[in-house]
Amino acid sequence: MNDDKIIICRCEDVTLKDIKDLLQQGYTNFEDLKRLLRVGMGACQGNTCGQLIQREIAKFLNKSIEEIPLQKVRPLISGVPLEKISEASKDES
């Protein structure tokens, strides 16, 4: 299958080709790719694309996968409507 038909990040529709193109341009860590492609910034927080991208970076740099840091994990773990948070914090006070 062509690299531009293989979806790596389902949240942002990023293909394997997009990843490989940026690796070629010298963006070889997850944080760079995240900022330029939004991989890991979607609703799943990189749970789908994280290890796939880690593997591509490892392959490109000819390193083992353990040597490639994953992206920074940020709160929240899953999406929560803002109004649920504001309502809940009203109950506490």
Partner 1 sequence: MKVNCLIIGAGISGVSIAYNLAKKGMKNIHVVDKGYFTSGATGRCGAGVRQQWASKRNCILTKKSMEFFERAKKELAYEGDLEFKQEGYLILAINEEEHKQFTKNVKLQNSLGIPSKQITKEEALKIVPHLNKDAFISATFCNTDGHLNPFKMTEAYYLAAKRLGVTFSFFEEVVEMKREGEKITNVTTTKNNYQTEIVVNAAGGYAHEVGMMAGVDIPVYAENHEILVTEPVEKMQGPMVISFAKNIYCQQVPHGSFIMGRSDPNVPKDHNIESSWQFLDEMSKTVADILPQVSKLRVIRQWGGSYNMSPDREPIISGTDEVVNFYMACGFSGHGFMIAPMTGLLLSELIMGEKTTLEMDSFHLKRFKDKDFVITEKSVV
Q: Which of residues 30-59 bind partner 1 (CB under 8 A)?
A: 31-32, 35-36, 38, 41-43, 45
Longest dimension (CA), the chain: 56
Residue among 36, 33, 35 at smallest CA distance from 52: 33
From 1, 66, 83, 91, residue interacting with partner 1 (rule: CB under 8 A): 83
Q: Which of residues 56-75 bind partner 1 (CB under 8 A)?
A: 74-75
Identify the H or E element spanning 18: helix 16-24
- Report in angstroms how near the CB of residue 20 gets to partner 1 at its nearest: 16
Within a 10 A sphere around the Cβ of 3, how many other Cβ atoms?
A: 13
- Report in angstroms how near the CB of residue 62 gets to partner 1 at its nearest: 19
- Report in angstroms how near the CB of residue 80 gets to partner 1 at its nearest: 6
Sequence-distant (6+) residues with CB within 8 A of 70 are 30, 46, 50, 51, 54
Per CB under 8 A, residues contacting partner 1 are 27, 29, 31-32, 35-36, 38, 41-43, 45, 74-76, 79-83, 85-86, 89-90
